[in-house]
Amino acid sequence: MSGLCRVCDILPDKPAKIGRLALAPKLLSILRRFSPEAATHWAYFDNAATTRTDPEVVQAMLPFFSQSFGNPSSTHDFGTAAAAAITAARRQVQALIGAEHEHEIVFTASATEANNAALLQALRREERGEVITTAVEHPAVLAVLADQEKHHGIVVHRIGVDRWGRLDRAAFRRALSRRTALVSVMAANNETGTLFPVAELADMAHDVGALFHTDAVQAAGKIALDVKASRIDLLSLSGHKFHGPKGIGALYIRKSTKFRALIRGGRQERARRAGTENVPAIVGLGKAAELAVARLGENQLVEALRDRLERTLLATVDGAFVLGDVECRLPGTLAVAFDGADAEEILFRLNRAGIAASSGSACAAGAMEPSHVVRAMKVPYTAAHGVLRFSLSRETTASEVGQLIGVLPEIVAASRAASLFAPQAAAE
């Protein structure tokens, strides 16, 4: 990963004032760590959190800030140029997910918005008051359903997973009924990369007359998607997960699906999402989708690098084991539990070594606790606090993998030596 940030080229030695604001010395110090020279020493393994915006995407976006800057709703040439760019981007996203019609794509400000719009729309079916989801969904789904459960009396069935993160299909079948309004199951888990059989589950949902939604944020751009060949009604995605810009997402709405807008106002997006369109971001999402389709084959190389990292870690670090379904997962995701280690301590040391990764923990009441995904998989206590996620992309290099392999065994050992979660410490 090179050229992560070029703002440092113009940073002064002393805190700079921008208007009435000043860049604090600590911020300047952090920014300088991403100078073009320093960035060459970094290894980035947090692509499931966000990816670097592809330079081709940036170049595609630039004209729509200061040249073709018109409002797409305007009838003059500036507006028609912007509208044409949105149409082109819509077709690019259509191709990415295999939609039958371009108008089935609705642009949103994020996948979180897309999830909210999809879930709340489906729950307007007054004759049905139950929802089926999984215990390992992203909070952008679980929080919406929890709110509907608490304040609107919706019955939510949260289906569990086994130790490999695979859906309990028997429990899923038992939960289905003619009372089910919606089934929402992610295409791929954001922590483990485990893939869910969404096409099959969509068939089962339709058999009882329910709508089917999938959060495909982690899957889009990484595996082939073909919604027209399935019975999926609603699908959410986000641009920044596959080298597009942040702040732009999309919601697929199958042509026959009834839909009422979550955000009301103007008639943008065929009256399904009001608000002036963010043309540069939409263009960027479209370009990222086009590149993802063209480079989908490169994910085989990503998978090979991931597998090399996995084999080496398991061979060199005692007490390490992989989380998730190793036979059916995303090509670039590797979740590893280091028994007796403290994930936050490991991440701190990795960061000092110029390596970015993430943990399977979330901050709760001031303490680091295992994530809901780790808990759902019933990972043992001493290992649950040592879960790390390494997520690769088409930009990950063999050199970066070697850099991580070179330091991680020693870092894990150091973490265990001081960890409260080491077996001997836990016993005391």
Query: Could you state, in chain order, the average pLDDT of each consecutive group of 10 residues for the chain (428 residues)?
Result: 40 43 63 59 94 98 94 90 95 98 96 95 83 97 96 96 97 97 97 98 97 98 97 98 98 92 77 83 98 97 98 97 97 97 95 93 58 96 95 97 97 89 53
8 as an active site residue: the answer is no
Question: Is residue 264 exposed (0-12), middle (13-18) or buried (19+ Cβ within 10 Å)?
Answer: exposed
- pTM, 2 dp: 0.89
pLDDT of residue 356: 96
The beta-strand segments (E) located in 124-248 are 130-134, 155-159, 180-184, 211-215, 234-238
pLDDT of residue 6: 36
Measure the CA–CA gap between 118 and 185, rounded to whole angstroms. Answer: 12
Residue 102, phi then psi, degrees to nearest 5:
-65, -30
Domain with CATH 3.40.640.10 in the chain: 58-294
Instruction: Quote the DSSP letter at residue 208.
Output: T
Other beta carbons less than 10 A from residue 24's beta carbon: 10
Measure the CA–CA gap between 403 and 397, rounded to whole angstroms. Answer: 10
Look up the CATH architecture of domain 58-294. 3-Layer(aba) Sandwich (3.40)
pLDDT of residue 408: 98
pLDDT of residue 275: 85
Measure the CA–CA gap between 376 and 140, rounded to whole angstroms. Answer: 17
Measure the CA–CA gap between 144 and 154, rounded to whole angstroms. Answer: 11
pLDDT of residue 265: 82
Q: What is the 3-state secondary structure (H, E, C) of 240-307?
A: HHHCCCCCCEEEEECCCCCCCCCCCCCCHHHHCCCCCCCHHHHHHHHHHHHHHHHCHHHHHHHHHHHH
The topology under which CATH files domain 298-427 is Aspartate Aminotransferase, domain 1 (3.90.1150)
Nearest Cα neighbor of 108 from 264, 292, 275 is: 275
pLDDT of residue 18: 43
pLDDT of residue 28: 65
Measure the CA–CA gap between 358 and 390, rounded to whole angstroms. Answer: 7
pLDDT of residue 425: 47
Domain with CATH 3.90.1150.10 in the chain: 298-427
Measure the CA–CA gap between 358 and 344, rounded to whole angstroms. Answer: 9
Q: What Å distances lie between residue 376 and 163, 165, 192, 218, 384, CA to CA?
A: 8, 8, 12, 19, 11
